[in-house]
Chains A and B, each alone.
Chain A
Amino acid sequence: MARSSQTAAETSESHRGRPIIYRAEGLTKIYGEGDNAVHALRGVDFEIAEGEMLVLLGPSGSGKSTLVNILGGLDHASAGKVWFYDRDITLFDDAALTEYRRQNVGFVFQFYNLVASLTARENVSLITEISDAPMDPVEALALVGLDHRLDHFPAQLSGGEQQRVAIARAIAKRPKVLLCDEPTGALDSLTGTRVLAALDQVNRELGTTTFIITHNAVIAGMADEVMLFGDGRISGSRHNATRVPPMELSW
């Protein structure tokens, strides 16, 4: 559960008895200095329970990508703390962040970022080879409905298919958390809902905590929790009692 709460630090167990995967306190990110300083995050606090499906909603520049970059270990916070379980990742150096990403984080990008010279299966193997207890690549691709396109190169796949390969690649190592930055941003509505369905299925079946960044409010319906971003702050949050199946979403 996500809360903008002053008491977040006091608890380590969220509602429904699930452990807290992320806890942030006064998380701040400032780019530049002096008059040119841009406050991307202005002191954000929250707690997130394991296995949640979260949608981060907000306009460009509202701070949602900055937050995900810090959670994903791609960027350093200017101030504040972020705990991943009981480890403060703001204290990690670059090598430790690499190991953290390698073991725990799966990424899905807006433009898929598949390696063009590898087939679908190989793009997934690329990651399973560096993981401790990965899924079989075929199994991961089957999960996103692409077990019939194993030996196709990215150039032979549609955008939606490429994004589903990217999801298979992200989840094949059984990450604790899946970070998706505008995963449907480059896709049409129908293809986009298929990709979201894949994410929904992964979240339900594997229990992977999933963050979806989007500026598309329709997508918020499929989340457990919705965090609204504005001007570097969490401007609000809401809990969906029931998650709308992605195939019913349309924009």
Chain B
Amino acid sequence: MRRFRSTLTVKLFRDLWRLRAQSVAIALVIAAGVGTVVMAAGLIRSLEATRADYYDRYRFADVFAPLVRAPEAVMAQVRRIPGVAAADSRVTAYATLDVAHVAEPVSARVHSVPPAGGSALNRLVLRSGRFPEPGSPRDVVASEPFAKAARLRLGDPIKAVIYGKQIGLRLVGTVLSPEYVYALAPGQIVPDNERYGILWMDREPLAAALDRKQAFNDLIVRTTPGTVPEDVARRLDVLLASYGGVGAYTRKQQISDRFISSEIDQLRTMALVLPPVFLLVAAFLLNIVLARLVDTEREVIGLLKAFGFRNFSIMSHYVQLALLLSLGGFALGIVLGIWLGRALAGVYQHFYTFPFLTFRAGLDVHLIAAASTLVPVMLGAATAAWRSARLTPAEAMRPPAPPDYAGRLTGNLARALGPDEPSRIILRGLLRRPVRSGLSVLGLAAALALYIATESAPASIERMIGLGFGGANRSDLVVTFAEPRDANALHELERIPGVLAVQPFRATEARFRAGHRTMREGLSGVEAGGGLERVIDIEGNALPPPRMGALVSGRMAQTLGVGRGDVIEVRVTEGEQPQLSLPVVGVLDSPFGASATLDRAALNRLMREGDVLSGAYLAVDARQLPRIRARLKESPMVAGISSSASALRSIRATIQENIGTMTLFYGGLAVLVVAGVVYNGARISLSEQARDLASLRVLGFRRREVSFILLGEQALLVVLSLPLGMLGGIALWRYLSSRFNSDLFTIPFVIDTRVLGQGVLVVAVAAVGTAFLINRRVDRLDLVRALKTRE
């Protein structure tokens, strides 16, 4: 028995060598699946582990509670709240900075430096220089990405306006903070590190600038394990109500953390949707290759059984072959996944500023990858192995009965459809194996669907940008004031030479409540009839801003569980903190933002504040743009200028970098799948039909006539897969685009017909290229052998 088994092992490796080309095709498809699993699972693990580690080491808070002003004594009460492990008070302010190398004014958030010692929350990672000297009114550390983007060097002066006061600062160090892994300025959707910075300075001088000596306006809490942070947030709201608490929120609602979570969610979607496609295709390919092998080896199988080999040894022989076939693909997939994961970790490191982010695909990731390989391999091998076991020795040693094509479907349908005999051969071949043909079509369709879905992302995002910057916002510049101003400010802007049109807006932060659900979002007052900023829905239709009630974003409607006609309670977190009751007049699916929108005059009236604006949209003469910028930068009332053009540039760059890599990757994978299916399909056909095709050559058929029969089958499968693949791609992108939506933007569902065309072209080119490889084998058909052998 030992000897027998070792001989079988020899056969195993010879088979493997003989099937090498098909093995490579299968291995590549498996590698694509395994690579995606390793990449996505590894990145999810790495991001989660890094985040957890970072938060833990630098004691990132669980609950955040901004307020207007509270005496330091309140902290004792905070620390007595059940579930509070540690609590720090701090002082936080918005600032406008004048930085030498940046043309526009820079918006900034300034925090007091966490107290020295290991117990402080939201500790900083010092990247260069030093922390501010205690008591120093000038020393400031900046977030590293901002310092780099704004080309700030240690020792550089920074002119800041905080709470209306001019303060001269000096950069003494750069830092990273767990609070700003993703540093997003209010109202932006991608980080703009050049024009938005985070600074930390000594608490004493910052508090003095804000008139909050011996007091604080921001509070962060770390909870004890097992505590529900929302409970602590609720108790803080009660405690801080009389100190102007504007609503405590948990880490889950913190913007930077929310972005990392949404990235992880996207990866998870990718990992759940895409690898199964590859692995199922691999299972199918393995299955047809093994089934064909068992067919051609039926006499050998019969012989082995006659010699006394057990079914188990024979089945395990084929299973081993399947395992060996997939081993290369598994190994390649691991390498591919790690390489890709590292590359993407580099991209993430750029967007998410972790002090460390190493791509680690641990044992668990490898086990997931191994399991996800093993399942399709077993699936593919099972029926073929089972078929080998079912053969009785006598039956196996007889030649197989000639395939019967007399069925009504195969017979008549092909007669009706096939214009000539070669096309009937093709049609009957396909109809006789409906399962195999169907799975081939599905495999090819999956590849096309994958391509269309991944390549549709840029068109949809371009549409989103178009809606945002052509539909909604048509201004050249957006000017934001340091604090709300009256109509005089508007006239001041109008008087600047080169300014062609201005349109005011009122924007504020608010806490929205419906029943027990709450959220913090923007409340936005849009000028009625304005041409520079409009309210538009995801279809691009302009809507008048409502005078009674508000339009809420789809995301807000979902979070608060409200619809048209419901009333939401709004507490503005600015100035007098007025409480408003706003009926929902409509749910707006808009590409950007998750805010509530109403008419500016109506908002002014509700806030009992007169004709007040938070800033304005400007249309300007392009030739005068630099002068206008310079003039605005000098103006003390201006806190920020953003240009639509630069915002557009930075969004496009982000998208290019993020999606470009993925698109290329998945496009390549689609090609692989098509090549794998066509190659294996044609090889199997060739093996099944070799004798027929050689006979036809003997009977005087030319090479291309024989190629037509061999490849026509594959061509027909490809053609059949195209409409299915297009529909599948459209459906897949609809699903993925809905999953990729985040709090800050909604990706419109757009299918560009060019992408459909490209997809078809990619599939066609991959199929034709593969067919070309196979076609050379038609030349090598052994004509003389065809005369002598029976199948």
Given A117-B429, A153-B404, verify A98-B702 contact (CB < 8 Å): yes
Contact B406 A155 (CB under 8 A): yes
- Contact of A72 with B by CB under 8 A: yes
| Inter-chain contacts of A127 with B (CB < 8 A) | 699-700
Bound together, the chains give a CA A153 to CA B403 distance in angstroms of: 10
Among the interface residues A103, A105, A125, A153, which one has the most CB atoms of the partner chain B within 10 A?
A: A153
Contact B700 A102 (CB under 8 A): yes
Given A102-B702, A130-B705, A156-B406, verify A117-B425 contact (CB < 8 Å): yes
| Inter-chain contacts of B432 with A (CB < 8 A) | 117
Residue of A with least CB distance to B700: A102
Interface size on A, residues (CB 8 A): 40
Given A69-B784, A126-B422, verify A102-B790 contact (CB < 8 Å): no
| Inter-chain contacts of A125 with B (CB < 8 A) | 420-421
Bound together, the chains give a CA A109 to CA B411 distance in angstroms of: 25
Residue of B with least CB distance to A111: B790
- Contact of A116 with B by CB under 8 A: yes
Closest CB of chain A to B700's CB: distance in Å? 3
Contact B403 A115 (CB under 8 A): no
A74-116 with Cβ < 8 A to chain B: 74-75, 95, 98-99, 101-103, 105-107, 109-111, 113, 115-116
Contact B701 A181 (CB under 8 A): no
| Inter-chain contacts of A111 with B (CB < 8 A) | 789-790
Taking a contact as CB atoms closer than 8 A, the residue among A95, A98, A116, A173 that contacts B405 in the complex is A116
Contact B424 A98 (CB under 8 A): no
- Contact of B85 with A by CB under 8 A: no
Taking a contact as CB atoms closer than 8 A, the residue among B403, B424, B700, B784 that contacts A130 in the complex is B700
Closest CB of chain A to B694's CB: distance in Å? 8
Mark A150-184 against chain B: 1 for CB-CB distance below 8 A, else 0: 00111110000000000001100100000001000
- Contact of A147 with B by CB under 8 A: no
Taking a contact as CB atoms closer than 8 A, the residue among A65, A103, A118 that contacts B700 in the complex is A103
- Contact of B184 with A by CB under 8 A: no
Taking a contact as CB atoms closer than 8 A, the residue among A105, A113, A122 that contacts B695 in the complex is A113
| Inter-chain contacts of A102 with B (CB < 8 A) | 699-702
Closest CB of chain B to A230's CB: distance in Å? 20
Contact B784 A155 (CB under 8 A): no
- Contact of A129 with B by CB under 8 A: yes
Closest CB of chain A to B513's CB: distance in Å? 72
Bound together, the chains give a CA A65 to CA B691 distance in angstroms of: 18
| Inter-chain contacts of B701 with A (CB < 8 A) | 98, 102, 130
- Contact of B118 with A by CB under 8 A: no
Among the interface residues B401, B422, B700, B702, which one has the most CB atoms of the partner chain A within 10 A?
A: B700
Bound together, the chains give a CA A118 to CA B622 distance in angstroms of: 75
Mark B771-786 against chain A: 1 for CB-CB distance below 8 A, else 0: 0000000000001101
- Contact of B428 with A by CB under 8 A: yes
- Contact of B697 with A by CB under 8 A: yes
- Contact of B402 with A by CB under 8 A: yes
B379-415 with Cβ < 8 A to chain A: 401-406, 410-411, 414
Residue of B with least CB distance to A98: B702
Given A98-B697, A113-B691, A117-B429, verify A129-B420 contact (CB < 8 Å): yes
Contact A72 B698 (CB under 8 A): yes
| Inter-chain contacts of A74 with B (CB < 8 A) | 698, 783-784, 787
| Inter-chain contacts of A130 with B (CB < 8 A) | 700-701, 705
Closest CB of chain A to B426's CB: distance in Å? 9
Contact B403 A117 (CB under 8 A): yes
- Contact of B297 with A by CB under 8 A: no
Among the interface residues B402, B403, B425, which one has the most CB atoms of the partner chain A within 10 A?
A: B402
| Inter-chain contacts of A110 with B (CB < 8 A) | 787-788
Contact A107 B429 (CB under 8 A): no
Contact B788 A101 (CB under 8 A): no
Contact B699 A101 (CB under 8 A): yes
| Inter-chain contacts of A173 with B (CB < 8 A) | 700
Contact A113 B421 (CB under 8 A): no
| Inter-chain contacts of A75 with B (CB < 8 A) | 784
Residue of A with least CB distance to B425: A117
Residue of B with least CB distance to A108: B787
Bound together, the chains give a CA A173 to CA B421 distance in angstroms of: 15
A sample of 7 cross-chain residue pairs with beta-carbon separation below 8 angstroms, ordered by A number, consists of: A72-B698, A103-B700, A123-B421, A152-B406, A153-B405, A155-B406, A156-B406
Residues of B within 8 A of A (CB): 401-406, 410-411, 414, 420-422, 424-425, 428-429, 432, 691-692, 695-703, 705, 783-784, 786-790
- Of all A-B residue pairs in the complex, the 4 with the closest CB atoms, nearest first, are A102-B700, A117-B428, A113-B695, A126-B421
Known: A102-B700, A130-B700. 20 other contacts (CB 8 A): A65-B787, A69-B787, A75-B784, A102-B702, A107-B698, A107-B699, A111-B789, A113-B691, A113-B786, A115-B696, A116-B402, A117-B424, A117-B425, A117-B428, A118-B405, A118-B428, A123-B421, A125-B421, A130-B701, A153-B406
